[in-house]
Structure 1
Amino acid sequence: MFDGVHDRRDSRSVKWERMEKIYGIDDASDVLPMWVADMDFPAPPAVTNALRERLEHPIFGYSYICEECKTAAAHWQKKRHGLSIDTAWMLFHQGVIPAMASIIDVFTVRGDKILVTPPVYPPFFSIPKNLGREVLYSMLQEQDGDYQIDFADFEDKLQQSRLFILCNPHNPVGKLWAASELEHIIELCAKHDVLILSDEIHSDLIHHGETHTPLLSVAGTERDRIFTCLAPTKTFNLAGIQAAMIVASDPRKRSLLEQHMQAHGTGALNAFAPVAWKAAYEQGEAWLSELLEVLSQHISYAIERLEREVPGLKIKRPQSTYLLWIDYRALGLSEQEAMQRLLQKGKVALEPGSKYGEGGRGFLRMNIACPKSSLQDGVSRVIRALGPARNA
C-alpha cells in the first residue's frame, strides 16, 4: 500500500504538474515535488471501494451529507481525540479554506483586524487580506526548533482584533499545543471578546506518544466563541474530493453561517464527498495506523541523513503532520540561493519558509509522505543541493 510508486503525471495533479507555474521554471519534468501537502499514497481501499460502488450508479445528481456521515465523524472525534460533538453543531463546506473564508466573511467586516501567529499556513493571512480585513501578526518565538506564543505581544494584538486564527496542530512547524497553552489562548480571547477559528485539519496525523488536544475540549463555557474546521481530506489523502466541516456549538452563529452558505451556494458537497467521508471515518482507522508507522520511519530516516550529510541543518522532529521544517540558517545561504540550488542542482521542489511569513525565513518545508524509494531519492537530491560539495 505505501511502498508502490504511482505515476501522478497526467492526472491533473497540482503537486506534480504545476511546478513550472509555482516555481517560475521553464521545465520541471526532472524535478521531484516534495512541496504541497498531499501524499503520494493511494487512499484507503475502503474509500476507493465505496467510490467504485457509487460509480456503478450512473446518475450523479445533487447530493447531501447523510446522518450516517455526521455520526461517523462524531464517533471518530470521540474515539481518536476524546471530543464529544453534537451532530447538530456540524455544517459542511467544500474545504477548510473556503470554510475559513465563510467564517471571516460572516463574523467580521471590512477593516476588522484578524490575528495570526506566523510562521503559519499562508491562507491564514491571504484570505483575510483578500476579504478586505487587516491582518495582525504575533510572531511565534523559536528556540532550538521549539515554538512558543509570546503571550504579552499576543494579548496586546488581541485588544485590536475581532478574530484569532489558530493552527492546531501547527502547520508548518508540526507543533501540538499543550492544553495549558490552549486554555490561556481561550482565556485571553474571552477577556477581549475575540472569536477563535481553529483549523484542526492535521489533527489525525499525530505521531506515537503524542496527543492532540482539540480546542473545544478545553473551552468549557467559552465554546460558543470557537469555530473548529475539520476534514478527512488531509488524513486520508482526499484533498481533491473537497469536503470539510465547521463545528459551531452556538445555534445563532450556525444560523448566520447557513444563511451565508445559502446566499453563496456553498452548502452542498459533490456526489462523491459523502461516500468518501463515510467510508474513511467508518473503515479507515487500520489504514491510518499503518500510515502513521510509515511516516514515523520516514521522518527518522530523513532527519538522520539530512543532519548527518549536510552539517549545519537542524530539524526538530515534528509532533504531527508529514512535514519537516528544516532550519538551514547555519549554511549562510539566502533563501533565493537555497531555492536556486534545490531546483537547479538538486532537482527537488521544497517550499521556502518565507511563504509562511517572515518568521519562516531561513527554513524549508519538506513533504515526506511518499514511497520510501521516492523519499530516499528526494533526500539525496536535497543533500546534493545543500551539502558540503554544493560549491563544487
Structure 2
Amino acid sequence: MQLEKFIDRRKTHSVKWYIEDQDIIPLCIADMDFQVSEEIVNAISQKATHGIYGYSTFCERYYDAVEYWWKTQYDWELKREWISFSPGIIPGINLLLKALTNPGDGVIVQDPVYYPFFSTIETQGCNILNNSLVYTNGTYEMDFVDFEEKASLPNTKVFILCSPHNPVGRVWTKAELQKIGEICDKHGVIVISDEMHGDLTYSGYTHTPFAKAHSNHLSYSITCAAPSKTFNIAGMQSSIFIIPNQEVKEKYEALLTGFGLMRPNAFAVEGTIAAYYRGLPWLQEVKEYLEENLQYVCNFLKEYIPSIKVVKPEATHLIWLDCRELDIPTESLHAFFLENARVRLDEGMKFGRGGYGFERINIACPREVLTEALLRIKAAVKAKKETC
C-alpha cells in the first residue's frame, strides 16, 4: 500500500475535492485520501464485472462478517436478531428519533459535537439539551452533574452519545460509559451511541462499545457503526445498527421500510464482507501512518505556529485545533484559513458554542499534502502578525 502516493480526486465527484478553486487544499470532511485495501477493490471489481446491479439484500455471509468483526475486535458476541441496517448514521438516527420521541421531547448531546446531530434533533421537532463537554488542560471531560440534571427532566427521552467523540477525539473510558449508563438507566433515557470512529483508535487507547460496558445497557441502547470511516468506503452507504431491544428494532425497521431505505447499495454487502474479513492489515498500516501524521502536526505547530494548540485525539483521523490565541473573531476564523492560507478546514462554529475559536482538520492524507497545507497556514499566520 502506498499511503504517500497522492491520488487526484478532483474529477471523481468527491464531495471533499469538488471545489472550483483548484488551488485550495481540502482537509475537511471525514473521509481519507488513501486508496482502499486491495481486498475490497477485488471484491467490488468482481461484483462490477457480474454486470447486473439490481436490488440487493443481505446474506448469511454478511451477518457472519459483522459478527466476526465485533467479536474479534471488541470481544462482543452479537446476536443476529440485533443487527439492522441504515444507509448512513444520520438517516438512521433520524428514524430512531421519530420512533422514540414526540415533538417537544428533549435530546441530550455533548457539544462541541458532530453538527448533523443538531439538525437531526430539530427535524424531529425535539429540543436540544446541551451537556457541554468541559475543556481543561488540553483535553475534554464530561460534566456528569449537568448531565444528570438534564437526564432527569421529565421530557428527556434520548441521549446521542458520540463515542469516540467527534471532533474532540476522546475515547471514553469504561468507567465514564458506565456512569453515563447508570444515569440514563435511572431516568429512563435511551442511548443512541454513534461509534462510527471506534475502529480508529491510537496506541494506548481501546474503544469500548457502550452497550458492552455494562450488561444493563443492552435494553436501552442502540449502537450505530459502519465500515465506512474505518475502511474509507463511505460512498457505499452501509451502516450497521445494533438494536437489542426488539420492540425498538421493530419500530425502527417499520420506518426504514416505510421510507424505502431497507435495501443496501449493490456493492455494500461484498464491500463490507471483504473489509471485515480481510481488511485488518490495511487498517493497521493506516493507523500507524495516521499516528505519524498526528505527531508531525503536533511538532510542526509547536515549533512554527504555537498560537494554534492541538487537542490531541485518542481516536479518529481528525484533529481539533484550538485557534483562540490567533485573536481572530470566531465568525472570521474559517474564512481566514480558506482565503489567506487556501486551506479548507471544518468550521468549529458548526459543532456548537463549544467550537467557537476552534477548527477541525483531517489528517488522513499523504504527508506531502499535509506539509503543504501547514506551510500555507504558517505563512498566513506570519503575514497576519506582520500587519498587526
TM-score by length of 1: 0.95
- Residue segments in structure 1 that go unaligned for 5+ positions in a row: 20-26
Alignment equivalent of 2:254, drawn from 253, 259, 265: 259
Which residue matches 2:11? 10
Sequence identity percentage:
36
Deviations along 1:258-316, one digit per CA (max 9) or x if unpaired, are: 21112111111111110111010010000000000000000000111012101222113
Distance 1:186 1:389, change over 3 A: same
1:342 alignment partner AA: F
Question: 1:311/1:222 Cα in 2 relative to 1: closer, same or farther (>3 Å)?
Answer: closer
Partner SS state of residue 175, structure 1: coil
Shift of 1:331: 2.1
Work out whether residues 335 and 352 of structure 1, in 8 Å CA contact, stay in contact via their aligned partners in 2: no
Distance 1:125 1:216 in 2: 23
4+ residue segments displaced more than 3 Å: 387-392
Partner of 1:23: none
Within 2, Cα distance between the matches of 1:38 and 1:127?
Answer: 21
- Asked if the contact 2:139–2:312 (Cα under 8 Å) also holds between the matched residues in 1, the reply is no
Summarize deviations over 1:359-387 as a string: whole Å, max 9, x none: 11111100010011111111112212224
Cα distance per residue 1:229-250 (max 9 Å; x no partner): 0100000111111000110111
Residue 39 of structure 1 is matched in structure 2 by 32
> 1:339: how far off?
2.3
- What is the correspondence of 1:1-392 to structure 2 with a 5 Å cutoff? 1-17=2-18, 19=19, 27-160=20-153, 161-387=156-382, 390-392=385-387
Cα offsets for 1:55-90 (capped at 9, x unmatched): 111111111121111111111111112222112210
Is the 2:168–2:319 Cα contact (8 Å) retained in structure 1?
yes
> Which deviates further from its counterpart, 73-82 or 359-368?
73-82
Aligned residue for 1:315, secondary structure, equals: strand
Cα 1:257–1:339, aligned 2, differ >3 Å: closer, same or farther? closer
Inter-partner Cα distance in structure 2 for 1:359 and 1:389: 25
RMSD of aligned alpha carbons: 1.3
Q: Alignment partner of 1:293: what SS?
A: helix
Measured against aligned partners, the alpha-carbon deviations of 1:110-137 in whole angstroms (never above 9, x if no partner) come to: 1111110100001111101012111111
Report the 3-state secondary structure (helix = DSSP H, G, I; strand = E; otherwise coil) of the residue aligned with 1:198: strand
Residue 162 of structure 1 aligns to a residue whose secondary structure is strand
Mapped partners of 1:357, 1:259: distance in 2? 32
Secondary structure, counterpart of 2:146 in structure 1: helix
Distance 2:277 2:217 in 1: 30
Q: Could you tell me whether the CA contact under 8 Å between 1:342 and 1:386 is conserved in 2?
A: no
Matched-pair contact (CA < 8 Å) for 1:341–1:386: no
Q: Which amino acid aligns with 2:321?
A: I
The TM-score, its normalising length taken from structure 2, stands at 0.96
